[in-house]
Copies of this chain bind each other. A is one copy, B any other.
């Protein structure tokens, strides 16, 4: 596994649980800690939820996963490689649509130029009303 480097370089270990959590996040796309746990338990029923939380945090520190806020509640996780779009969340039907990052380019540049603020447009969802719900 190439991920070993990311981990071992920081004195961390590649445990089965950790591999399983990472694999689950990669397969699921956006997913809550609970969903990750369920996925992992399909093949390894013994895994503990707090282990999932701890590994998501560890994997995020190492840069292999990231979290995003899609709704009013908790965070969802995704593989770091996969963050190539922003999320359009409809406040009425709860639908989550995608849009390319480029669509926010002028906005991001303006924030950078005028405020020196480097934006991560996809950390928080873009909230509003989708075309179906107008």
Chain A residues at the B interface, C-beta cutoff of 8 Å? 67, 69, 72, 75, 88, 90-91, 97, 99, 103-104, 106-107, 110-111, 114-121, 123-131, 134
Question: Which B residues lie within 8 Å of A111 (CB)?
Answer: 88, 99, 103, 126, 128
Closest chain B residue to A128 by CB distance? B119
**Residues on B with beta carbons closer than 8 Å to the beta carbon of A107:** 103-104, 106-107
Contact B104 A129 (CB under 8 A): no
Interface of A is mostly: mixed
Closest to A126 in B: B119
Contact B119 A134 (CB under 8 A): no
- Pick from B115, B120, B125: contact of A124, CB below 8 A: B125
A119 lies within 8 A of B127 (CB)? yes
Q: A134 to chain B: which residues have CB within 8 Å?
A: 116, 118
CA separation between A4 and B114, bound complex, in Å?
Answer: 42
Q: Which residue of B lies closest to A116 (CB)?
A: B131
Bound state CA distance, A69 and B69, in angstroms? 9
Q: Is A120 a contact partner of B128 (Cβ separation < 8 A)? A: yes
B128 near A117 with CB under 8 A, answer yes
* Chain B residues within an 8 Å CB radius of A126: 111, 117, 119, 121, 124
**Which residues of the other chain, B, contact A119 by a CB distance below 8 angstroms?**
88, 126-128
